[in-house]
Each structure stands twice: as C-alpha cells, then as structure tokens.
Chains A and B, each alone.
Chain A
Amino acid sequence: QKEVEQNSGPLSVPEGAIASLNCTYSDRGSQSFFWYRQYSGKSPELIMSIYSNGDKEDGRFTAQLNKASQYVSLLIRDSQPSDSATYLCAVNILTGGGNKLTFGTGTQLKVEL
C-alpha cells in the first residue's frame, strides 16, 4: 500500500461545477495535510493546509479531513478553466527517520468550457 494515494485522473468537470479531489494515506498518526497545485511546466504551489478533522474553507477551496477514515479531500467550487492543473496531496508521515512530508502522485484536473 502506498503511503499517500491519489487517483491520477484526469478528472474532467464542466466550468462552474464542483471538483472533488480525494487522497488517502496509510499512517493513522499523521497530523499535517497539504494540497499543492502544479500547473504544467511549473513547480508545485501550496494552496491549502489542514490539521484538524472537519472542513477548512479558503475562497473557492475547501479542504476536508477525516482522520478516522484516513482521507483528505479538496473541493473546488465554481471551477474555472484556470483551475486546470495537477493537484498533489502531501501528508506528514512518521518514518524511521522521523516525520517526513510524503507526496501523492497527483490528480490531473481538467475544467472544460
């Protein structure tokens, strides 16, 4: 089992719809969770962080965390073509060497006109 798993997509949604991106993780003790956005040809950019169970909203973005089920999700409301990118989930995983931020392989989102 991978430490952080994401569906690679592509996930296609129409403009104005809600895009839902999901991520599961293996370490039940993980405490920190992050979402990055990566446009084609660019480096990853941090867009959301979440540490507690529940929802965290920032503009059109909502991060949801459920530690009991070991999943974290990102909702994008009123999706725009400019949201088309790959979204990386990152989870703080406890390893033999200490805490390590581990990245999923990313979900490609396509917002269609």
Chain B
Amino acid sequence: GAGVSQSPSNKVTEKGKDVELRCDPISGHTALYWYRQSLGQGLEFLIYFQGNSAPDKSGLPSDRFSAERTGGSVSTLTIQRTQQEDSAVYLCASSWDRGNEQFFGPGTRLTVL
C-alpha cells in the first residue's frame, strides 16, 4: 500500500514569507506527527494529532508555527514569517495509534534565504 507522502520535497523561500507543507498519512492511521530535523541533529517533535482529539502542540517552537489536520487525514504545517533558523527537513509520520511504530514520509527540505 501507499506510504506517507509529503509535498513539496524541496522548498526554497525568502525570509519573511509564509510556507505550507503538506502530509498525506497512511490510510487508516489515526495518529499523525510532525518533526523537524536540522542538519546532523536528532528528531525534534513539533505537533501530534490523534483522531478528533485536541492536538498536542507542545513541541511547536513559536507562534509562527501552526498545523491542522482536515477530516482526520491530510495535514498542513504552516510557518509564517519564515526565518533562516527555520531551515531544516520537516518530517511527517503516521501510526495506528499513539505509542505504536511510526512510519515516516520522505520529508520536505525547507531552505530560508
């Protein structure tokens, strides 16, 4: 079956612009996660969605970051007024339920000039 997909694969933007990153999870997975990974670093948890429950936003680094998940499926991560320090790979993962193994998408490489 289809895995987790993300788009775009690469995004180059200018400082101060807004960007939207998209994640399409594995069909049937109720849990969806966003992570950020800077070059040579570990995974930084950003936000988690589980079904219709309120999302866990505890990892969002600032109020410029927001995410939504429509219809319990596709999710969009939005970064407003991008800064150079936002440059990283943004990874999306999904799982059957929280605590189960997660399956990752290919990531979106964001470069802020």
Contacts and interface: CB of A to CB of B under 8 A. Distances in A.
Q: Is the interface of A mostly helix, strand, loop or mixed?
A: strand
Interface stretch (B11-19, B64-72, B78-86, B98-106): B98-106
A101 B96 CA distance: 12
B42 A103 contact: yes
B56 interface: yes
Interface string A31-65: 01010000000111110010000000000000000
Interface residues of A, number: 20
Contacts of A92: 99
A101 B91 contact: no
**Contact residues on B (Cβ < 8 Å of other chain), bracket:** 10 to 19
A43 B91 contact: yes
Interface in B25-62: 41-43, 48, 56, 58
A101 B98 CA distance: 7
A46 B99 contact: no
Contacts of A90: 101-102
Given A88-B43, A106-B42, A101 B104 contact: no
